[in-house]
Amino acid sequence: MQQVERIPTINKGFKNKWHYYVYDALIAIVGSLMITGIIYFSHLYPRISDIMIIQLIWIIVLAIWRSRYAAIVASLAAFLSFNYFLLPPLYSLWLADPAQWVTLFVFLITAIVTGQLAGSIRQRAEVERENEHELRILYELMRVYNTTDDFDTQLDIIALSTQRVFSSLGVQECAILVPDQHGNLQAMADAPIRVDEFVPNAEELSRAQMVFNTGNRSVLVDEHAPQTLVHFIPLKSARRELCVLYLRVVNGVSWLANAEAMQIALKDEDPHAEFFWTYLEQISSLIERSLLRQKILSS
């Protein structure tokens, strides 16, 4: 199972978007104020009339390094700080010369447009890197899965890989519950590797059986740990339900809170949510293949 460790994990990013916005805003504001402070204390303006180009360079760097949002915040911070500290009357946002208003607004519009263009280039490159990363996850999963023809080992590989890939999103445990010849679910594989055999409790087993029978996923809140959710997701082929995927999620991302949050994330085209379902479709196909091969061998 050491080969599973070669499978990459999903890039975590920020769990909450407001963390992302606050972090970018702080970087943008502090950077713009520092540049204005250097110009102010070095008395570079008005000796160098085009000194504002330094702010424009910083905005472009910020758009490529961080985001378009950070570039816009930096543009506004540069606009206000330059006005307040460098243009007469000092320490006031009012300008006596109308020509200076024109100059400042031209700078602001140029900075925002340039930041947007540079940010678009960065975003496209980031999407390409993320797509490449996700393709590598699926490729490594297939590669490890194809190293064996043993049914139990293949299920173990899928369970271990699923827990590993989504561990950064809060998935701490994974199990695959497969029906026996009477339709009763049994845990055939689980992750992480443990000494004791994984056995779901009566409530979890009942919920998993309901999910398998109805084909509708469900989420169970662990009464002993409010931050822990247990997801029961039916894995299906085109004709029937194959098994139930058991995921224990601790302090997970917001879209793993319930089925409704998942649907909203998919509607909003959240890349992690979209890949999550793409991954589930892939492992459903692999499990169907394993079950079919096992049926052929047993007959």
Instruction: For residue 224, give the nearest of 253, 248, 247 by alpha carbon.
Output: 248
CB 282 within 8 A of CB 289: no
Edge-to-edge order in the sheet of strand 185-191: 185-191, 171-179, 241-250, 228-236, 218-221
- pLDDT for residue 161: 95
Relative to beta strand 241-250, strand 171-179 is antiparallel
Q: What angle is formed at CA 161 by the lines to CA 292 and CA 163, rounded to 5 degrees?
A: 120
- pLDDT for residue 17: 67
Q: Supply the pTM of this predicted model.
A: 0.77
* Domain residue ranges in the chain: 17-126, 150-298
Query: Tokens at residue 242, please?
Result: 């194959």
- Distance of alpha carbon 218 from alpha carbon 256, whole angstroms: 11
* CATH among 3.90.1300.10, 3.40.1080.10, 3.60.15.10, 3.30.450.40 for 150-298: 3.30.450.40
- Cα distances from 218 to residues 154, 231, 245, in angstroms, run 25, 6, 11
- pLDDT for residue 1: 60
Residues in the chain where the model's pLDDT stays below 70:
1-2, 12-17, 195
Taken as a whole, the chain contains a residue count of 299
- 247 backbone dihedrals φ, ψ, rounded to 5°: -125, 120
Q: Which 3 state secondary structure label does DSSP give 188?
A: strand
Instruction: For residue 135, give the nearest of 283, 278, 289 by alpha carbon.
Output: 278
- Distance of alpha carbon 59 from alpha carbon 297, whole angstroms: 64
- pLDDT for residue 14: 54
- pLDDT for residue 194: 76
Task: Check residue 221 and report its DSSP letter.
Answer: E
